[in-house]
Structure 1
Amino acid sequence: MPVYEYECRECGPFAALRPMAEYADPQPCPDCASSAPRVMLTAPAMAGMDPARRTAFATNERSQHAPKSSKSLGHGAGCSCCSSSKPSRKTLYRPDGSKSFPNSRPWMISH
């Protein structure tokens, strides 16, 4: 329940814990029991959030509704279609004429 401020004509301002449904209703003064109307003497208290945490929440919210695709990110380092380096070959030829497949799965048999 929120705390609301009231002002009694005889006793002055006081605060009371009230349900939100009764925010506009007058509150009896705790000292003299006369009806006191609700007033706003101070600004509402706003809970602040750490900027890094706010950025993380914004990033998560954005990615939930519109995730980035790999086309918008580009390809990673070493991509054969985007990088200027020579692409690696799947077959490695040794000086003795034998060949191996260093990038392939070892349990696969090639033809």
Structure 2
Amino acid sequence: MPLYEYECLDCGPFTELRPMADSALPCPCPDCGGDAPRAYLTAPMMACVGTERRIALETNERSQHNPMSVGEYAAKQAAKSHRAGCSCCTTTKKKKSATAKTPSGAKSFPSKRPWMISH
């Protein structure tokens, strides 16, 4: 349950742990028992929120007016994970194998390095 601030007109401000459904309702003052309306006295404590959650909240706040499409998100993620001209994203011709093969399909020594035995 969240912690909300209320301000009694006679006793002053106090905080109370209440369900979110009851946050807008007046809360009984712990000192005098009178109904105290909710007050916004301090800013939310964002310093206590973890870095990952804070970044997610900032991202959601920025995108509330113009959310990214699935295609835009995929392109952004692809741009982050690959450097320019990476081999998996470019379409190139298939490399010719360096291992020489006989007409029967048996492998022989590589043509470029005859001293190396392939496995």
TM-score, with structure 2 as normaliser? 0.50
Question: What does residue 109 of structure 1 align with?
Answer: none
Which AA in structure 1 matches 2:100?
A: T
In the TM superposition, what is the alpha-carbon distance from 1:73 to its structure 2 partner? 5.0
Q: Are 2:99 and 1:90 aligned? A: yes
Provide the rounded CA distance (Å) in 2 between the counterparts of 1:73 and 1:30.
66
The question of 1:49 aligning with 2:51 is answered yes
Superposition RMSD in Å: 4.1
Per-residue CA deviations over 1:51-98 (Å, capped at 9, x if unaligned) read xxx5xxx9xxx9xx6264x9x85327xxx95xxxxx772129xxxxxx
The separation in 2 between residues aligned to 1:36 and 1:29, in whole angstroms, is 6
Q: Give the drift of 1:12.
A: 0.5
Residue matched to 1:21: 21
Secondary structure at 2:21 match in 1: helix
1:13-56 superposed Cα distances (whole Å, 9 cap, x missing partner): 00000000001000000011011000000001222406xxx5xx
Gaps of at least 5 residues in structure 2 are: 60-69, 102-106, 111-115
* Alpha-carbon shift at residue 10 of structure 1 (Å): 1.1
Aligned residue pair count: 81
What's 1:9 paired with? Answer: 9
Using structure 1 for the length normalisation, give the TM-score. Answer: 0.53
Among all aligned residue pairs of Structure 1 and Structure 2, give the percentage whose two residues are the same amino acid.
Answer: 48
When Rg is computed on C-alpha atoms for both structures, the one with the higher figure is 1
The alpha-carbon distance between structure 1 residues 5 and 90, as it changes in their structure 2 partners (threshold 3 A), is same
